A and B are shown apart, each in its own frame.
Chain A
Amino acid sequence: MEFFLSSMSVILRGTGVTVKLTVTSLFLGAIIAVFVALAQVYGKWWLNFIATAYERVLRSIPILIIMFMIFFGLPTFGIRFDPFIAAVISLGLRSSAYQSQIFRGALLAVSEGQIMAARSLGMTGVQTFFHISFPQAVRFSIAPMTNEFTIVLKDTSIAYALGVTELLREGTYIVSTTYEPLLIYSMCAAIYFVITFGTNKFVSIMEKGFAIPGYEVRGVERG
């Protein structure tokens, strides 16, 4: 029992790091993603080209290689990050590529007609974006973002490779002293599961709270 409790406290410490890693990466990703999506939807052709190239490249590289390039590669130019920051940047950049596509789709789901109506009232492009497109696009993004959250959460375990003491690494430390790999890794797995499951539940409740009354078909204009 004592063994269980002491392992548990170490694992919970790791869980804290995992959650911090997930949230900061998603946040970094979200900020970049908005700009990438804006460039793709509203940008001139060259801006669109740069954003699309960024998004395609980051989506095509394994996350471990991105991490190694940033953590081991950048010091070549004298740029050094500690493992946690390197992991956040890597996960954030990669997530920004995926989140940009979520947000781009959401922006495009706001009907052309509503944009036209806003312009016909005399709104500028910027006003139209902030009053009409953005508030709706954010709502359309909530559901697909759950998926992205789950992916980033699970991929934080790859930060293990940089030596970040997140959930998996803490678990591995315990395994190395207790020789109970199945038990300990099962505990880690259970924690990932609980976080994912809990978050999904939380988001679906939030989604209902933010839903537009009567408007159930997401992203589809009804006559």
Chain B
Amino acid sequence: MKLLEVKNLKKRYKNKEVLKDISFDMDKTETLVVIGPSGTGKSTMLKCINRLVEPDGGQILLNGQDVIKARRIEKIRQRIGMVFQEFNLFNHLTVLDNVRIGPLKVKKLQKSVATELAMENLRKVGLASEAKSYPAQLSGGQKQRVGIARALAMEPDLIMFDEPTSALDPELIGEVLEVMRKLALDGMTMLIVTHEMGFVREIADRIIFMENGEIVESGTPEKIFNAPEKERTHQFLNQFTKFWREK
């Protein structure tokens, strides 16, 4: 059984069709990266998967369980971690509490157990020493690593990353990518939206190229980067290489 199956996913905002007919699936431990121009519905697609945005049609199965028809979506969201572009840490809570609040309040684990779990995940992202700090005292890269620890502490089946480095200063991107790289090696199932093409090439098991609410093409990094079938994919990737050449 596939870990995640998305079939004919549709979403429209008023007159604009944001997601036209998205279908793909993911295996356990797979790293699937979604690339494509801005405003093509990549972020909306992620939010439809845990229904932070309600889809208009289609089917989503997590381990065979229907996400769209689920009565208690909260139960399913516990199993899908999410890391946001803007970090979205809880400003009034310490780093430790940011990571601990999910296991403690949602999973209702004992405080000592939740604390241990939170500390373990903070160690994983290299921030155990900042446990008592508040988000506003951290750098962007540190904030995002806390965001990742917060998602990990729920011990989800899948983590979705919505442009996790787009709000970061260039010198802070590396530390976040490093954590993600480690997660991939640990066998975490990850669905990533990003524009970091070098990273995509290195980390992705499979790539989806999306444009205008549709999947244009998908395949392994070798295929997408070296021999894309569609002209549009080639043009899109070319922008990046041209950009680098000009630099």
Chain A residues within 8 Å of B, Cβ to Cβ: 111, 113-114, 116-124, 127, 131-132, 135-136, 139, 212-216, 221-223
Cα of A119 to Cα of B78 in the assembled complex, Å:
9
B contact residues around A131 at 8 Å (CB): 90, 101, 105
**Contact of B137 with A121 in the complex, beta carbons under 8 Å:** no
Shortest beta-carbon distance from B143 to chain A in Å: 9
Q: In this complex, what residue of B is CB-closest to A222? A: B136
Tell me whether B91 is interfacial, beta carbon within 8 Å. yes
Contact among A113, A124, A212, A215 for B88, CB-based, below 8 A: A113
B225 at the interface (CB under 8 A from A): no
- B92, A117: Cβ atoms closer than 8 Å: no
Total of A-B residue pairs, C-beta within 8 Å: 85
The answer to whether B82 touches A117 (Cβ under 8 A) is yes
Q: Which of B64-118 contact A (CB under 8 A)?
A: 74-78, 80-82, 84, 86-92, 101-102, 105-107
Query: With contacts A117-B82, A214-B134 known, is A123 near B105, CB below 8 A?
Result: yes
Whether A117 lies near B89 (C-beta < 8 A) is yes
Give the interface centre of A122, A132, A136, A216 by most chain B CB atoms within 10 Å: A122
Sorted from nearest, which 4 A-B pairs have the closest CB atoms? A214-B136, A122-B78, A113-B88, A214-B137
Interface residues of B in 147-174 (CB under 8 A from A): 147, 150, 154, 167
The CA of A117 and the CA of B90, in the complex, are separated in Å by 8
Instruction: Please state if A120 and B50 are interface contacts (CB–CB under 8 Å).
Output: yes
Give the A-binding residues of B (Cβ under 8 A): 50, 52, 74-78, 80-82, 84, 86-92, 101-102, 105-107, 133-137, 140, 147, 150, 154, 167
Task: Report B156 CB to chain A, min CB distance, Å.
Answer: 10
Structural contact, B52 and A116, CB atoms closer than 8 A: yes
Output the nearest chain A residue to B52 by Cβ-Cβ distance: A116
**CA A124 to CA B140, docked complex, whole Å:** 28
Residues of chain B within 8 A (CB-CB) of A120 are 50, 52, 77, 80-82
Residue of A114, A118, A120 most packed against chain B (CB within 10 A):
A120
CB distance from A154 to the nearest CB of B (A): 32
Contact partners of A213 in chain B: CB under 8 A: 133-134, 136-137
A117-B82, A212-B134 are contacts. A122–B90 as well, Cβ < 8 Å? Answer: no
Q: Quick check: B106 and A212 within 8 Å, CB to CB?
A: no
User: Cβ of B78: which chain A residues have Cβ within 8 Å of it?
Assistant: 121-122
Bound together, the chains give a CA A166 to CA B120 distance in angstroms of 60
Contact in complex: A124, B74 (CB < 8 Å): yes
Pair A212/B136 contact, Cβ less than 8 Å: yes
| Cα-based distance from A116 to B86 in the complex (angstroms) | 11
Could you pull out 14 A-B pairs where Cβ atoms are within 8 angstroms? A117-B89, A120-B52, A120-B77, A121-B101, A122-B154, A123-B105, A136-B91, A136-B92, A213-B134, A213-B137, A214-B136, A221-B86, A222-B136, A223-B140
Residue of B nearest to A111 (CB): B88
The answer to whether A116 and B88 have CB atoms under 8 Å apart is: yes
A121 & B92 in contact (Cβ 8 Å cutoff): no
With contacts A212-B134, A214-B137, A223-B167 taken as known, whether A121 is within 8 angstroms of B91 at the C-beta atoms is: no
Complex Cα distance, B88 from A221, in Å, reads 9
> Is the beta-carbon distance between B74 and A122 smaller than 8 angstroms?
yes
Residues of A contacting B75 in the complex (Cβ-Cβ under 8 angstroms): 122
On whether the beta carbons of B52 and A223 are closer than 8 Å, the reply is: no
A118–B90 touching, CB < 8 Å:
yes
Considering the chains assembled together, what is the distance between the CA atoms of A222 and B92 in angstroms?
13
- A127: chain B residues at CB < 8 Å are 105-106
Across the interface, which residues of B come within 8 angstroms of A123, CB to CB? 74, 102, 105-106
Residues on B with C-beta less than 8 A from A139 are 92
Determine the distance from Cα of A118 to Cα of B52 in the docked complex, in whole angstroms.
11
* Closest A residue to B168 using CB positions: A223
